[in-house]
Amino acid sequence: MNIFLATEMIMAASAPIADGGTAIEKIGDLVIAIDTVWILLAAMLVFLMQLGFSLVESGFTRSKNTTNILMKNLLDFSTGSLLFWLTGFSLMFGSDIAGFVGSLDLAGFAGWEGDIPREAYLVFQTMFCATAATIVSGAVAERTRFKAYLIYCILISAVIYPVSGHWTWGGGWLSELGFHDFAGSTVVHSVGGWIALAGAAVIGPRIGKYRAGKVNAIPGHNLTVACMGVFLLWLGWFGFNPGSEGAASSLAHATAISSVFLTTNLAAAAGGVSALVLVWIKYGKPTLSLTLNGVLGGLVGITAGCDCVSPLSAVIIGILSGVVMVYAVSFIDRVLKVDDPVGAIAVHGVCGVLGTLCVGLFAIEGGVFTGGGFGLLGVQALGSLATSVWALATGFLIFYGIKKTIGVRVEKRVEEEGLDVYEHGESAYN
């Protein structure tokens, strides 16, 4: 009887239906439709991260430069969208050339294969490109010429990010080695963080930051705005990481997405709490600014392995990220003497590397602490190192080249009085 019913069901599903096609074909279409809607919804959440970055950066800097901060973030997304569509997508996901880069197809999709519409995947990946670009904005804030920043935006979106992204996500040499970066601790965040280090080092510190051997704090003007930005980034990360599952139409996908949601949230919370506790002990006060960056450090740290670690491991990764971020901010500021107004280098560069290495330590399959040996950890270290060197080298070439040609830094008077009026002709607050 069961065999008979199964046969009837198969025949019914294979039979033509009123509006053409079969039930099996319609189910296949529905699966693709569900996956497409999920990817686009995730893209919308990641888009919100642009607002989050805008608020964090403007809150952590002085009010006289707020318009400039907002304009740079708007520029990141606008130019990033156009250039990633024009060249970036094909360089990242096009037919592989020697494991280094995809084949160029201007405003095209040659070489990319997938079930969902290619336009949907382009939109989703565009959000990641814009995120990598906007990380640099905060590190070079309050002293960079707008036209110089525009040149940087063009180059990272059109070439730099797509090339290193191809190595991991486009079928390049790192993917062949088994390098694992689920949603971009290295591909997105570390690239942005190390370019930020190069840019901030070339441009130099803000006036008054280092005097007579002392490091002077230059407080931001609005921690309320910065806190709102972090909450928006936390929300956007629920599209960033779970969206990277790429599908939502099966129970397996639903389970994976749920797990990624959980690990992402736990790491963020643990990063914030660990940073809070450390700064309370270290500085005597539970400072909000470093706690906020602790949350972001936890989010960056879990992004590489959010799909392959346990909830407990996610908490450990978050704690490590929050602690390492605090010490990295101090090291970059006091030892390297690199002026990063928002802590972007520590949060995205350092925690990006840490999170990538943590995959090799905590991955349920292949991690050192789960009995997998050191093979995966070695691949993770190699991938992180290679991508970091690429980002640092290209970032230095860009900003040094701009410095020696059109100039990268505003005049002293402009920096002292504020970039808003001199660079943009308007102020954010009136």
Q: How far is CA 353 from CA 17, 25, 32, 188, in A?
A: 54, 44, 34, 11
Contacts of 294 (CB under 8 A, 6+ apart): 271, 272, 273, 274, 275, 276, 321, 322, 325, 326
Report angle CA 110, 113, 116 to the nearest 5 degrees.
120
Residue 113: per-residue pLDDT? 83
Nearest by Cα to 410 from 204, 194, 133, 198: 204
The C-alpha atoms of residue 185 and residue 355 are separated, in whole angstroms, by 6
10 Å CB burial of residue 19 (0-12, 13-18, 19+) is exposed
Percent above pLDDT 90 for the chain? 90
Q: pLDDT class for 5, splitting at 50, 70, 90?
A: very low
pTM to 2 decimal places: 0.93
Is the separation of the CB atoms in 161 and 129 below 8 Å?
A: yes
In sequence order, which ranges of 20-88 are alpha helices (DSSP H)? Answer: 23-59, 66-83
Q: How far is CA 10 from CA 15, 16, 32, 122, 158, in A?
A: 9, 12, 21, 36, 49
Is the separation of the CB atoms in 20 and 36 below 8 Å?
A: no
Once rounded to an integer, what is the mean pLDDT over residues 199-214?
Answer: 95
In sequence order, which ranges of 204-308 are alpha helices (DSSP H)? Answer: 223-240, 251-283, 288-303
Contacts of 214 (CB under 8 A, 6+ apart): none
Position 10 pLDDT exceeds 90: no
Is the separation of the CB atoms in 237 and 264 below 8 Å?
A: yes
What pLDDT, in 10s, does the model give residues 330-382? 999 999 999 999 999 999 999 999 999 999 999 999 999 999 999 999 999 99
Task: Report CA dihedral (317, 318, 319, 325) to the nearest 10 degrees.
Answer: 100
What pLDDT, in 10s, does the model give residues 223-281? 999 999 999 999 999 999 999 999 999 999 999 999 999 999 999 999 999 999 999 99
Tokens describing residue 427: 């102020």
Long-range contacts of 404-412 (CB under 8 A, 24+ apart): 406/145, 406/147, 406/148, 406/151, 407/145, 407/148, 408/144, 408/145, 408/148, 408/202, 408/203, 409/143, 409/144, 409/145, 409/148, 409/203, 409/204, 410/143, 410/144, 410/145, 412/207
Contacts of 398 (CB under 8 A, 6+ apart): 151, 152, 155, 156, 160, 195, 198, 199
3-class SS of residue 16: strand
Position 18 pLDDT exceeds 60: no
3-class SS of residue 409: strand
Q: pLDDT class for 115, splitting at 50, 70, 90?
A: confident
Tokens describing residue 276: 């809070």
Residue 430: per-residue pLDDT? 86
Residue 48: per-residue pLDDT? 96
Long-range contacts of 21-29 (CB under 8 A, 24+ apart): none
Tokens describing residue 264: 């992402």
First to last CA, the chain: 79
